[in-house]
Structure 1
Amino acid sequence: MLKSFSDKAIMTKALSMYGKRITNEQYMELMHKKTVAEIAAYLRDTAGYSEALSGVQPTAIHRGQLEILLRKERFSRYLRLMHYDNAQRDSYYHYLIMEIEIEQILQMIQLLNSNRAEEYITQYPAFLERSTRVNLMELAKVRSYDGLLHVLGDTPYGKLLLQCRPLGGELIDYTKCEVVLMSYYYQHVEDIIDHSFHGKTRLHLHEIFQTHLELLNISNIYRLKKYFPETKPEQIAKCILPVWKRIPQKELDRLIAAPSAEEFLKDIAASPYAKFVGSDDFTYIEYTANCINYYMCRRYLRFATDAPTVFTAYMALCRIELNNITTIIEGVRYGVPPSEIKKMLIL
């Protein structure tokens, strides 16, 4: 009975918060703002961000601070939903914490490769310190790969990244680190879904994660063929994430073996993924992939009857909204015309 109440509360709260989402009309107004300060002031007056920005002076905030506050708001929504979760620490809903932890580790790896590790302290999400297994303050002090391994200690991430340790003065293989960490993440999520759920709930959750993974892999294969045509198929195979059940191995091998980006598009056009084709511009393919995720999650949010599916769809939609707002902030900051910004939004 308690679990039933918990599920109902999570569903009701998620739908209520979704009702405060940024509307298409509000996106249009945001795109026509002239400065980041104007965007901050506008968001402060919207239902979904009024609390997060209540103490902000728009004229004094810069882009980085605003984006951190927006990320904090997404996490605050997660915590509001978790208030109703009666499960143990290994609850399915903790997948979001793992996702955030891996994002922070990969961000530090990027900074290490560019000799800018000291910049992490200015952008790390301090509001997450009590929620993650990774000590973010200690992560901010990292200045080498060995230092990173030390901070990650006995976490699963430290053990996984041992296999990516660079030799001598080599750069860290970021792609290898990303594949190792994200493969662990998706496998872990799949295992939790299989262990915790059955019936439609299990089916729906697998569809959400596997569709996202499938679209990510297709986009990555095309990116490599388009911008790094010298990349060999065996190298591409090392850059994609496990596909699970959705893409047959023969189909995946055929796409990876395509001799060029143009041939890849032809192969896609003759496959169940023909929806990707319509332009030879990678931006179109990536944008289409994001749109597919958006409409799938919006459909599940409206029609699903179980809390895990509603939660997962809602948090994915929150991420898309955050990305849209960030895109607008960057566009306004660099003087991009509203008509061009609109083309990059997932609406």
Structure 2
Amino acid sequence: EYQLSAGENFYKYFVVQNDIRQIMTVVRLLIQGHPEKYLAALPPFFNSKTDIDLYELAKVRSYDDLLRALEHTDYKKILERYRDNYSEDGMFILIENELNKYRFSFLIKSVKLSKDHRKKKEIYEIINYRLDMYTLTRAYRLLNLGSPNKMFIRDFTVKGCTNFSEKDMQAISDAKSATEIVKLIPNTYYKKDFSNIDFKYIENATTEMLIRRLLKGFRYYTNPTAVMLCYLFLAENEVRNIIHIVEAIKYNIPTEKAKSVLIGTES
């Protein structure tokens, strides 16, 4: 019974993840003034997997339309808070963050179904690592855009799911620039992992660190669910690499330059 319920919930996590991608695509198009373009981006095969009617999303022409399309979902409750200011500067990243917190919280609830505390530890290792890399990337980006308040940066985290100490989080919150974020990493749990990468930019660094941890977990974890999560997260990275390769070919980008944006290919 556990195997069925846990597996089903982990499956639903990836449904939630894609739901959020579709919603954020619509929000972005609304902000840009071209919501009608969503129809071309809509993944038809996914419509049978989700509780959201993606074809209703394709009819959205205003934020109120979006809320109506998401009626009776948890997503509506989150998005309602931004009804009056969704198009203002900085709101897109706030909405995205709120939805991603919901996504990670859903994953954590799925983990709690397990009765095997030893095996749960492996899953939490993956989640904590992924969340911390997300926090670093978001904090870096926001500091590049301006100077967000401390609670704004802290709001990226999901309570109890981090390898950062309270001191680390305080330092990240107090950072005055994106450069300070990079300088803080060697003083955290991620010191060794960070020292093993060639830092180019934050997304590259955090993704490279995460991929290396996932590869290790994929090879050595004993919990089937943890191995599955590693595999799926690694597969996502492979898809990103394929997209980069296709774009490089399309725009005649030199091979060496194209290789520089690929992550995890040397492993």
| TM-score of Structure 1 vs Structure 2, range by shorter chain | 0.7 to 0.9
Length, aligned pairs only: 262
**2:236 alignment partner AA:** R
Distance 1:317 1:263, change over 3 A: closer
Asked if 1 retains the 8 angstrom alpha-carbon contact of 2:194 and 2:209, the reply is: no
Q: Report SS of the residue matched to 1:195.
A: coil
**1:272 alignment partner AA:** Y
- 2:56 corresponds to: 138
Asked if 2 retains the 8 angstrom alpha-carbon contact of 1:214 and 1:243, the reply is: no
* C-alpha separation in 1, matches of 2:211 and 2:87: 42
**2:141 alignment partner AA:** R
Aligned residue runs from structure 1 range 221-232, under 5 A = 221-225=139-143, 227-228=144-145, 230-232=146-148
Distance 1:232 1:176, change over 3 A: closer
* C-alpha separation in 2, matches of 1:286 and 1:179: 16
- 2:149 corresponds to: 233
* C-alpha separation in 2, matches of 1:325 and 1:177: 28
Q: CA deviation at 1:133?
A: 0.9
- 2:205 corresponds to: 288
Q: Work out whether 1:333 is the aligned partner of 2:221.
A: no
* C-alpha separation in 1, matches of 2:7 and 2:214: 26
Q: CA deviation at 1:171?
A: 6.9
Distance 1:126 1:341, change over 3 A: same
Aligned residue runs from structure 1 range 101-180, under 5 A = 101-167=19-85, 173-180=91-98
**2:103 alignment partner AA:** Y
Gap runs ≥5 in structure 1 = 8-85
* C-alpha separation in 1, matches of 2:209 and 2:20: 24
* C-alpha separation in 2, matches of 1:260 and 1:267: 11
* C-alpha separation in 1, matches of 2:233 and 2:197: 26
Asked if 2 retains the 8 angstrom alpha-carbon contact of 1:300 and 1:310, the reply is: yes
* C-alpha separation in 1, matches of 2:186 and 2:212: 21
Distance 1:295 1:180, change over 3 A: same
- 1:267 corresponds to: 184
Gap runs ≥5 in structure 2 = none
Could you tell me the TM-score, scaled by structure 2's length? 0.87
Q: Work out whether 1:320 is the aligned partner of 2:244.
A: no
Aligned-residue sequence identity (percent) comes to 26
* C-alpha separation in 2, matches of 1:88 and 1:286: 31
Q: 1:268-312 CA distances to partner (integer Å, 9 max, x unpaired)?
A: 33333334469997x433212112221222222222233211211
* C-alpha separation in 2, matches of 1:299 and 1:162: 41
Distance 1:264 1:159, change over 3 A: closer
**1:244 alignment partner AA:** G
Task: Name the Cα RMSD after superposition.
Answer: 2.7
Asked if 2 retains the 8 angstrom alpha-carbon contact of 1:255 and 1:267, the reply is: yes
Asked if 1 retains the 8 angstrom alpha-carbon contact of 2:28 and 2:92, the reply is: yes
Distance 1:303 1:165, change over 3 A: same
Q: 1:45-65 CA distances to partner (integer Å, 9 max, x unpaired)?
A: xxxxxxxxxxxxxxxxxxxxx
* C-alpha separation in 2, matches of 1:326 and 1:342: 12
Q: Work out whether 1:91 is the aligned partner of 2:9.
A: yes
**2:206 alignment partner AA:** A
**1:164 alignment partner AA:** Y
* C-alpha separation in 1, matches of 2:92 and 2:58: 18
Q: Work out whether 1:344 is the aligned partner of 2:241.
A: no
Asked if 1 retains the 8 angstrom alpha-carbon contact of 2:244 and 2:262, the reply is: yes
**1:112 alignment partner AA:** L
Out of 184, 194, 208, the residue aligned to residue 102 of structure 2 is 184
* C-alpha separation in 2, matches of 1:268 and 1:184: 26
Asked if 1 retains the 8 angstrom alpha-carbon contact of 2:85 and 2:91, the reply is: no
Q: Which has the larger radius of gyration?
A: 1
Q: Report SS of the residue matched to 1:196.
A: coil
* C-alpha separation in 1, matches of 2:121 and 2:31: 40
* C-alpha separation in 2, matches of 1:265 and 1:168: 30
**2:156 alignment partner AA:** I
Higher normalized contact order (CA 8 Å, seq sep 6+, divided by chain length): 1
